[in-house]
Structure 1
């Protein structure tokens, strides 16, 4: 219920002003608690942001501790239009001279043209058999364990598209399509896979003629080994051929695997020099230096963001002239200052595991006076030439002395510790939340007491006002009785 306030009813006593000023004094403990709550909230917010920055640093350090990034290889080609390579963790670093003398291809045959107005291709059956042709296409060796497939084409399924679909659904190992040119429509068959062993031959058995009484399914017959060449050979089945470091290689596809450990070499075109002779393409396989450099740069960025944030949050700027002193939310906070010191100590620490590279400064990561790290690119690029030592400097583990571990390994250990459930950051934030809750309860208790105090004050001063008004009236009466003015 709203409080009714007024100035003195009869005496002119300013009850409201008196009560208001007295209550402002009484409320000072609440004001102090509110000021304290604001500081606690700011500190809790800062710790939340600090936790986020440390998590980002932990992720960056973890990446540099992961063997995958150090084991990642990259291949470069002197002619990527002809030869490329896909690397893996097991790729062997080195230089490889590659010649491509032949690309893998699929056998392709085309039927004679059916008239443009043809509605059927004839009825009967096609028998398709997979195998390998000899160099002159006069001898055929069927694929062992693979039976020929017969496709029956009857009435109602003898259109070009229907015949195409029956072939494609037969599992014969070929792909059929319809191609139309100026002479009419053709059925084109292509082996489903490249390679010399994936050739095929086709025999036809007609039970009904084709369009206008002409050739029907026999237009697709192809078996030079038996003198049948009705269909036209557009492309022979061939395997990819070439050499890698002088060693002859043959592959059913244009991707050559298992010749070099962990490396798949991809052929895109035959390699020829200006005279038309086979020429070499140079493949270089080695560590992915750019990926590692980026990971180091990302780590430095994450560390600098943390260092800058902590400096800002813990700073104290003394009073200067009329400018009041200012302090960061974590100024004087022992947990934050302690963590700041630990981080600075770690980036300046050393490890003997990295051989000639013992500290960050050796690889161009130079600690600055403000707590950040400055990268000297030329020095870092030079260190990337010592990949084994660089890896150990960052991620090495010393089973006898953890203090000698790699530098990001030590930073990862520290971030794990402070971010853990019972780590210093969670403990600090839990304590701050508890303090904020207690502060709120203290404010509620004092405000409840102050409401009673204010009520008593208003009652007392209102009563005083009435008493003073009564005395003033009595004085006027007495004065009148005795003829006073």
Structure 2
């Protein structure tokens, strides 16, 4: 604790405080510069958040389903459901589901638990000798095999040992993990064991198609006696058989329908996918395909809206007023203001941090260029203007996009594939297979001209975001890994050095005032002694 001014009568502490306020001015400017950099860093990161959201919106247009303009009216019977992609022509179609694909399955012929009891699949077999109808420990050490067949009809077998010290679940886990394409489990409601194929369809032996599709071998006593699984009870899986007719091409039904047999219940005829659920009882059921541009239109509109929102926000940051007379507040200045006054001051201090920023303005310029450059496709559309998307006529709106709904819907209805190509066309593989470092300027230009708008925009956005990250970092980077961060680290170092210097200066001031006090004390003492001597002499 320092106390000054005893001899001089001066308010030493107040004087030194005022002197230090002058000395601290460079330090205050450093703190203000650091605060400005932090705000600028956050402003850049806010821009990157906008660009990320726009990139995600563009990515949603990469899916073919985003441009699917076909709607299907399915039959009321529920025997099947149909979906159609954008390449399918409007019209009526017929489907007959002759057979639905099923799984091969074998189920216990009777309950496996003893009367009045219920087995536990988690307890050991040895601990449940009286819970099963047949004591499972009797078969301890026996080995049985399960044989199945792959899609080519080749056999695949696996042996399993009966171990009464383990649970039924442990045995099922071993069977299910044996890559035999089967699954075994216990149904406690029916008190039966089920072993079935994991896939639908008919998987038989190429050598003997009449053989069981899930064949038991070896010592089968445990399977037949304990689990009540009878080989003869197997219900073999079957393939789906679906017939299809396009009534637009065969209105009189004079041609034989297209017939497909396969293991899955999902059967495709061109751009139409049939999901069979039950048979149609030897009759054809009709469904219709019609145009529905709503979803595709909304997907494109959503991207355009996000693009316009991003452009508007970026232009706002570029034109935001910069108030240079409102630097960041120091702690002392903030204490002297009300909360509302400090808030209003901060608003002006933060304003215009990215005004006329070249990095942000280049983002807008690049996106405009990518969107307005024609795309070389095999379709009829190669520019946005051809599908009804144009730049706003009012230049003050900053180049935002406007949609002619009638024109866009017409393009989606008449040739959705061409619209898809405009957004998602890919360059010729003979060009893209060339390593980047070996491509000529002309080849790069060809790749660019053949690339769809979405890929162009996403590439441009990612390049811009990477540039911003190099300057302003992100939540995964330390200050040493980006430009503004390194400047902040430098300022921190200068602040620390300057604070040490201020401490030395303050110590020097106190030392000087202390010596002054000491000198005044000494002078006062000498004066008092002289007065005493003069007083005694006069007596």
Q: For this structure pair, what is the TM-score category when the shorter chain's length is used for normalisation? A: 0.5 to 0.7
1:436 Cα shift?
0.8
2:46 aligned counterpart, secondary structure:
helix
Alpha-carbon contact 2:69-2:85 (below 8 Å) kept:
yes
The one of 383, 387, 411 equivalent to 2:416 is 387
- Contact in 1 for aligned 2:94/2:245 (Cα 8 Å): yes
Contact 1:364–1:378 at 8 Å: present in 2 too?
Answer: no
Equivalent runs, 1:193-342 vs 2, <5 Å: 240=241, 242-245=243-246, 246=253, 247-248=256-257, 249=259, 251=261, 255=265, 257=267, 260-261=269-270, 263-269=272-278, 278=283, 280-284=285-289, 292-293=296-297, 295-300=299-304, 302-304=306-308, 306-317=310-321, 325=348, 327-328=350-351, 330-332=353-355, 334-342=357-365
More helix by share: 2
**Superposition TM-score, scaled by structure 1 size:** 0.59
1:15 counterpart = 2:15:
no
What does residue 411 of structure 1 align with? 457
**Shift, 1:451, TM fit:** 1.2
Which protein is richer in strand relative to its size? 1
Q: Structure 1 residues 294, 448: CA separation in 2 closer, same or farther (over 3 Å shift)?
A: same
Cα 1:39–1:348 change in 2 (3 A) is same
- Name the residue aligned to 1:184: none
Aligned ranges for residues 58-457 of structure 1 at < 5 Å? Answer: 58-64=55-61, 66=62, 68=64, 76-79=72-75, 81-85=78-82, 95=91, 97-100=93-96, 102-104=98-100, 240=241, 242-245=243-246, 246=253, 247-248=256-257, 249=259, 251=261, 255=265, 257=267, 260-261=269-270, 263-269=272-278, 278=283, 280-284=285-289, 292-293=296-297, 295-300=299-304, 302-304=306-308, 306-317=310-321, 325=348, 327-328=350-351, 330-332=353-355, 334-342=357-365, 345-346=368-369, 349-351=372-374, 353=376, 355=380, 358-359=383-384, 362-364=387-389, 369=397, 373=401, 380-385=408-413, 386-396=415-425, 399-400=445-446, 402=448, 406-420=452-466, 423=467, 425-427=469-471, 429=473, 430-457=482-509
Give the superposition deviation at 1:346: 3.6
Structure label with greater radius of gyration:
1
State the alpha-carbon separation in 2 of the partners of residues 345 and 101 from structure 1: 52
How far 1:440 sits from its partner (Å)? 1.1
Give CA deviations for 1:226-280 in whole Å, capped at 9, x if unaligned. Answer: xxxxx9xxxxx9985655234343747793746x2364423445659xxxx9564
Quick one: structure 1 residues 377 and 479, their matched pair in 2 at CA, closer, same or farther if it must change by over 3 Å?
farther
Say if 1:266 and 1:51 are closer, same or farther in 2 by CA, change over 3 A: closer
Q: CA deviation at 1:30?
A: 0.5
| 2: CA distance, partners of 1:29 / 1:410 | 48
Q: Using structure 2 for the length normalisation, give the TM-score.
A: 0.54
Residue 468 of structure 1, CA deviation = 2.9
Q: Kindly indicate whether the alpha-carbon contact (under 8 Å) linking 1:84 and 1:267 is maintained by their aligned counterparts in 2.
A: yes
Deviations along 1:257-309, one digit per CA (max 9) or x if unpaired, are 46x2364423445659xxxx9564124388x9666445534534543453354
Give the conservation status (yes or no) of the 8 Å contact 1:317–1:326.
no
Q: Is the 8 A contact 1:346 1:410 kept in 2?
A: no
Question: 1:105: Cα distance to partner?
Answer: 8.5
CA distance in 1, matches of 2:64, 2:321: 46
Separation (CA, whole Å) in 1 of partners of 2:488 and 2:288: 64
Q: SS of 1:5's equivalent?
A: coil
Residue equivalent to 2:479: none
2:518 aligned to 453, 458, 466, which one? 466
The answer on whether the counterparts of 1:82 and 1:271 sit within 8 Å (CA) in structure 2 is yes
Deviation string, structure 1 residues 90-149 (Cα, Å, up to 9, x no partner): x765645214375558899xxx99xxx9x99xxxxxxxxxxxxxxxxxxxxxxxx99xxx
